[in-house]
Structure 1
Amino acid sequence: MSQAKFIVIEGLEGAGKSSAIALVKDLMEKQTGKAPVCTREPGGTVLAEKIRDLVKIAEADDPLCDEAECLLFYAARAQLVENVIKPALARGEWVLGDRHNLSSLAYQGGGRGLMPLVKAISDATLKGFKPDITLYLDVPPALGLERAARRGELDRIEQQALEFFDRTRETFLALAAEDDTIHVIDASQPMSEVHKDIQSVLQSLL
């Protein structure tokens, strides 16, 4: 338990990430005796939060092209990793992330069809750095978007066509099948069952 770990929650819109993050934060605090450093992507630093605003808002007169979107996500991620995540881990503090690189691989790589670009930028900026554990909350896109719409107005990415989210989900699942540090949780279940599955996975790993 002395070695700090980086745990990330991933999922499509409406998968229940916020609720899962609250649960995992509590579990990590009980496990380590200290609250984890919590991050979100894009965001988590002063500059990265400004980038978050850029990628979330749709500008009718200057629409964000797919390649620029990808570059902005990695600019924000590089700031967060170097200025927050790595220093926290070096201090022995556990880190809990709301999204990380798997999101770019799925959304920009799979959803946008930019996988060669995404992998090249990922390799250049992260140099192999990755979470110790990723929990991917899997939900059919139609169900997830229905849930997201109930929360209020959808942002620029949430307004993409259903086919975009189908491709993104397929990529999430394909990448999870290739990486034993990524654990798939069925997020279409009632929230109580989702939380039981999360607890079971983390208890077995930690």
Structure 2
Amino acid sequence: MSKPTLVIGNKNYSSWSLRPWLFLRHHNMEFTEKRVSLFVDTTEQALAEYDSDYKVPVLKDGDLVVWDSLSILEYISEAYLDGGGWPVEREARSVARSVSAEMHSSYFNLRNELPMNCRKSFKNIALSRQAQRETERVKALWRRCRREYGREGEWLFGDFTIADAMFAPVAIRFSGYGIPLQGVEAKYVQSVLGHAGMIEWIEAAGEETEIIEADEIQT
């Protein structure tokens, strides 16, 4: 059986690409990585064959093409992990799906004002009131998940789940932009950044030379 291929964007900037990549790495799954430079003249040509509206990530598994981070994570969980990407217990599983969906569909101000940038660190970033509210919402969700479902492990629901993959880029953002963290949320970010897959991703991002100006904030 051939290995699936994961098509990703620039590691320094592409938070959506990081999510399934980290999930695959965590589960020691073999896959072929195809990296496409984003927002250059060759991007659309490189992505045209996947019918993903020229977006990454894309997972190609045999003849099947799956796009969108959360859809890819769900597919990996079902096809390769017998549903093990989610918590076993129904209540925890439902909450994990809810927080993952919220991460997928929300936090527009946080994304825009704190774009993922693995190569840089910032201090004294002035956030809008809306972005501040969103950062506090994320931290509150982390505290709740750890308190109610994750006491027996270092991840949001104890074991590493799709929810952790979805929030991994936020850990990079909070660390890189110096967002104040305390207690549970600080320890959680340490766990995410200490993951072997995250270390590998961030090191590779540091070796990239492309610059996407739209994701480079000015301080």
Does the TM-score normalized on the shorter chain lie above 0.5? Answer: no
Question: TM-score by structure 2 length?
Answer: 0.36
- Higher RCO structure (Cα 8 Å, ≥6 apart): 1
Question: TM-score by structure 1 length?
Answer: 0.38
